[in-house]
Structure 1
Amino acid sequence: MVDQPLTGLGVAITRPSDQAKRLSRMIVEAGGQPHAFPLIEIAPLADYSTFDAQLNELDKYDWTIFISSNAVQNGIPRMLNLVGKPPATLRHAAIGPVTATELTSLGIAPVLTPQGRYDSESLLALPEMQQVKGKRFLIFRGVGGRELLAESLRSRGATVDFAECYRRINPQTSAEPLAQLWQQQQLDAVVVTSSEAMRHLLAMTNNAQQPWIRDVTLCVNHARIAELPLDLGLHVRIAEAPGDDAMLQCLNTVALLKQQRH
């Protein structure tokens, strides 16, 4: 008999639809019921003229930094089409191993990544990011986002520009579908893997005042994403690592606790 530790567990996944497919499949294989509820979708820019101009000036930079897989998927194919391979003198860094693997698969290597924790703070702690006075960095990201990386590098004497190559939109107008799933006893956990998605979720539940969100467990993949919901007294579990496998382990714990309660 196939082990199905998530039997009877309803899980909403708030990731962009195309990024939720593997985890959804793993949840089904483990006996759970995934519910797609993307709180972020990735959309192209209305105008790429600024981004294209930056690609044409790659040779003036010392480093590129890629914030996410989305930055790779929306930036590198366009770069390869427009200007070809980046200059050999250009060095590359990524926030985490998934992003680094995507870069490598598209011929961008080697890629510097932090070990253990995967965030701006960990990248900034690396030896290569210390003596950067006079260096020029180009950070590939979506429109908006955290400023910590750029601010810290600038404080160390670097010049930093943002290469914004996509935008994020919230496709949902209401959290009512999740409330209904909960009322039907089909929702036990919600997977949230970005601070932006968490902000959308809390805003759509009257700052977490709706009964259902105070009952379910929020499964996140970074302590920073957990800060707001923990402050609001919600049930939060933090996966031990990024990626779908660690998130599945996090959901296994939720399922185990549910079984113990019953």
Structure 2
Amino acid sequence: MRVIVTRPAAQAAQWVQNLRERGIDALPLPLIDIVAPLDTAPLAQAWSQLPQQRLVVFVSPNAAEQFFAHRPAACGWPDAVMAASTGPGTTQALQRAGVPAPAIIEPAGDAPQFDSEALWARLSARDWSGAAVLVVRGDGGRDWLADTLRGHGAQLSFVAAYRRAAPRFDAAAQALLGDAMARPADHLWFFSSSEAIEHLVQARAGHNWAAARALATHPRIAERARASGFGDVRETRPTLDAVVACIQSITS
């Protein structure tokens, strides 16, 4: 059985490598393209004002990677500023970019999910009254954490570090997609984004996904897969060990 990794290209490549090292036949089929924002001036401004923030929230690995891709030359991470991460992938991206580990706040390692709610569990004990908080994200997104911080007195600002776009399938991607649709029992879709599911369904409008199987890293994503017609949808924590265990349970 082939596992189809649908994350954006950079993360898909890493997941494919990790899964293959565990003996799993995995192939990338990115269902979200990550592209630069139309206007990068807000990113330059965000970097210039970075020392004034108490906290910078990075909503995903892409948010971290794209924010640092626009870092001015010789600009380091300010000592007094904390970086908030929604999960291990984002934390790794921040550390690769040079953010010191002690400056990073992330969900507990045993959190049921790596999401905004799990991150808030680590932030909630702090006093956010009057604190300047910058949220780094794509073009839009879920505002639950921002609304929660604002409700506790934080002064919120936002910057879009990238845009999400529908995928452009090359010949290899078209072939993999066609094979997966023709032989659903031999493939497992690995989803970490509801938007990826939407792009897939839109790209093949009218296709019946009832025979297809999917693995989702969050209940909201699993719900979207079921609503899209996937007949067998499993949920897993988004760690490598949990994903591998779930895949093995399906194939055993």
**Distance (whole Å) between structure 1 residues aligned to residue 82 and residue 43 of structure 2:** 19
Cα offset for 1:187? 3.8
How far does residue 173 in structure 1 lie from its aligned partner after superposition? 6.9
Aligned-residue offset at 1:57: 1.2
Please tell me whether residue 41 in structure 1 is matched to residue 33 in structure 2. Answer: yes
Query: Per-residue displacement from partner, 1:2-31 (whole Å, max 9, x unpaired)?
Result: xxxxxxx02222112222223323544566
For residues 130 and 253 of structure 1, do their structure 2 counterparts lie closer, same or farther at Cα, with a shift above 3 Å needed?
Answer: same
- Superposition RMSD on alpha carbons, in Å? 2.7
Provide closer, same or farther for how the CA distance between residues 179 and 101 of structure 1 changes in structure 2, counting only shifts above 3 A.
closer
Alpha-carbon distance, 1:188 to partner: 2.2
Do the aligned partners of residues 66 and 186 (structure 1) sit closer, same or farther apart at CA in structure 2, a change above 3 Å counting? same
Report if aligned partners of 2:13, 2:28 keep a CA contact under 8 Å in 1: no
In structure 2, distance between residues paired with 1:165 and 1:238: 29
Please say which structure displays the higher CA radius of gyration: 1
Aligned to 2:198: 199
Identity %: 28
- Kindly indicate whether residue 249 of structure 2 is the aligned counterpart of residue 253 of structure 1: yes
Superposition deviation, residue 66 in structure 1? 1.0
The equivalent position to 1:104 in structure 2, one of 95, 109, 113, is 95
Q: Find the aligned partners of 1:29 and 1:88 in 2 and give their Cα distance.
A: 37
Residue of structure 1 aligned with 2:159, choices 157, 163, 180: 163
1:124–1:253 CA distance, 2 compared to 1 (3 A): same
Measure, in 1, the Cα distance between the counterparts of 2:20 and 2:91.
28
How far apart are residue 73 of structure 1 and its match?
A: 1.2
- Report deviation, 1:194: 1.2
Counterpart CA distance in 2 for 1:47 and 1:129 is 36
Match of 2:130 in 1: 134
In the alignment, structure 2 segments of 5+ residues that lack a partner are none
SS of 2:157 mapped into structure 1: strand
1:3 paired residue number: none
Aligned ranges for residues 46-85 of structure 1 at < 5 Å? 46-79=38-71, 81-82=72-73, 84-85=75-76
Contact preservation (8 Å) 2:185, 2:211: no
Q: Spell out the pairing of 1:178-189 with structure 2 (5 A cutoff).
A: 178-184=177-183, 187-189=186-188
Query: How far has the Cα of 1:185 moved from its partner?
Result: 6.0
**Distance in 2 separating the partners of 1:103 and 1:219:** 26
Give the letter aligned to residue 70 of structure 1: N
Corresponding residue SS for 2:189: strand
Aligned pair count reads 243
In the TM superposition, residue 246 of structure 1 has moved relative to its aligned partner by 2.6
TM-score w.r.t. structure 2 length?
0.84
Deviates more, 1:131-140 or 1:173-182: 173-182
- What CA distance in whole angstroms lies between the structure 1 residues aligned with 2:220 and 2:61? 19
Q: CA deviation at 1:190?
A: 0.6
Compare 135-144 and 28-37 and name the one that shifted more.
28-37
Tell me the distance in 1 between the aligned counterparts of 2:115 and 2:15: 21
Give unpaired runs (5+ residues) of structure 1.
Answer: 1-8, 257-262
Any idea what SS the aligned residue of 2:38 has? coil
